[in-house]
Structure 1
Amino acid sequence: MYRPLIVAAVAAIVAGPAHAHVSFENAQAAVGTTYKAVLRIPHGCDGKATDEVRVRIPEGVIAVKPMPKAGWTIEKTVTGYKAEYDLHGKKVAEGVTELSWSGGSVADDEYDDEFVFRATLDAGLPAGETIYFPVIQVCGTDRAEWTQAPAEGQTAHDLERPAPGLELLHGEHAGH
């Protein structure tokens, strides 16, 4: 009689920490396609409200366009890429490499908030691997740096503040 309750409680405890990290709603996407990134911020910083979110865009993630968010100001940092990419037949050598949403406020105890952007995953990205998007969460004078990427032999679950990862899949229509 108590066994199902114990199993459910253990499952909830094990699953709980995964929801405490900054993550993508959909953490898989095919290379050579457009990806809608929904970045979830599950809580503030030690009881303080989140008032800024910054995300670094990894190399090979191009044509980044953030979704406006009511009450927040978006800032885009545009710099040169390390390589030149083909985007619908046009060569691109620079683009958005960091996004910032600021000026709003999400209380620590409010529902997960979402910050959304769209990007193209270059067909040359390594399918079968995971790329990481370092995130800085600012809460007044405090900040949480979700910037750790697993070393060989580690997983994101081994890290205290893992960066959100995106598993790259083989694209059926990669390059189109």
Structure 2
Amino acid sequence: MQTLKHTLPLVLSATCLAAAAHVVLDQPQASAGSAYTASLRVGHGCDGSPTHTVTVQVPAGLRGAKPQPKPGWTLSVRKAPLAQPYTSHGRTVTEDVVEVRWQAASRAAWLDDAWFDTFHLRGQLPAQPGPLWFRVQQLCETGQLDWTEVPASGTSTQGLKAPAALLQVQPAQPAGHQH
């Protein structure tokens, strides 16, 4: 029993460190059809090197993505034509944001390896439940990390070295009495 008592904290610490090693969503579940703010947490740099650019591929199905500016970072978006146009506020939308990029405006704004930060974008979730994968590229002074792997089937990221951030879109909650 003494061995287990001393080993368990080490196992838990290693598990926590492994979980913190990826780009993850602060809220990994949301209701279908709802407005959602994706807060992507970058937990470290590239093997000790500071991060200067974070690029997010907006998952298909997330409509009207709007990124939040970060002081000291330049923000850019890339739009592309949609295979399935949609209507928003009485207008037909034929192209939408497919990529968001934050780039540090100066070396002073770089995200040091010892720090973490979040990068936010907001959009409308699809009406159908299911997984949405946010693929993230992290560029550093030396090297880069591509958090883009998705499982061949299902949603388990076990065994993936650089998993994309997963949002589980849950069935919409029925409208009811709210407090």
Give the TM-score, by structure 1 length: 0.88
Show structure 1 runs of 5+ residues with no match.
Answer: none
Equivalent residue number for residue 74 of structure 1: 75
Q: How far off its partner does 1:12 sit?
A: 2.0
The farther-off stretch of 133-142 and 8-17 is: 8-17
Deviations 1:58-103 (CA, angstroms, capped at 9, x unpaired): 1110111111101000001011112112334543221111000002
Equivalent residue number for residue 39 of structure 1: 40
RMSD over aligned Cα, in angstroms? 1.9
Q: How far off its partner does 1:108 sit?
A: 0.7
Larger Rg: 2
Ranges of 4+ aligned residues in structure 1 off by more than 6 Å: none
Equivalent residue number for residue 173 of structure 2: 172
Q: How far off its partner does 1:8 sit?
A: 2.5
Aligned in 2, Cα 1:134/1:153: closer, same or farther, shift over 3 Å?
A: closer
Q: Letter of the aligned partner of 1:101 in structure 2?
A: W
Equivalent residue number for residue 18 of structure 1: 19
Deviations 1:44-64 (CA, angstroms, capped at 9, x unpaired): 011110000000011110111
Give the Cα–Cα distance (whole angstroms) in 2 for the partners of residues 31 and 97 of structure 1. Answer: 19
Q: How far off its partner does 1:21 sit?
A: 0.4
Equivalent residue number for residue 114 of structure 2: 109
**1:161 is the counterpart of 2:162:** yes
Q: Letter of the aligned partner of 2:131 in structure 1?
A: T
Give the TM-score, by structure 2 length: 0.87
Q: How far off its partner does 1:147 sit?
A: 0.5
Give the Cα–Cα distance (whole angstroms) in 2 for the partners of residues 134 and 173 of structure 1. Answer: 31
Maintained 8 Å contact 2:46/2:142? no
Aligned in 2, Cα 1:113/1:146: closer, same or farther, shift over 3 Å?
A: same
Q: Letter of the aligned partner of 2:140 in structure 1?
A: C
Give the Cα–Cα distance (whole angstroms) in 2 for the partners of residues 116 and 58 of structure 1. Answer: 14
Maintained 8 Å contact 1:31/1:169? yes
Deviations 1:108-132 (CA, angstroms, capped at 9, x unpaired): 112x111011111121x3x1x2111
Give the Cα–Cα distance (whole angstroms) in 2 for the partners of residues 91 and 11 of structure 1. Answer: 50
Q: Letter of the aligned partner of 2:31 in structure 1?
A: A
Q: Letter of the aligned partner of 2:117 in structure 1?
A: D
Give the Cα–Cα distance (whole angstroms) in 2 for the partners of residues 154 and 33 of structure 1. Answer: 21
Aligned length: 170
**What is the aligned-residue identity percentage?**
35
Maintained 8 Å contact 1:59/1:82? no
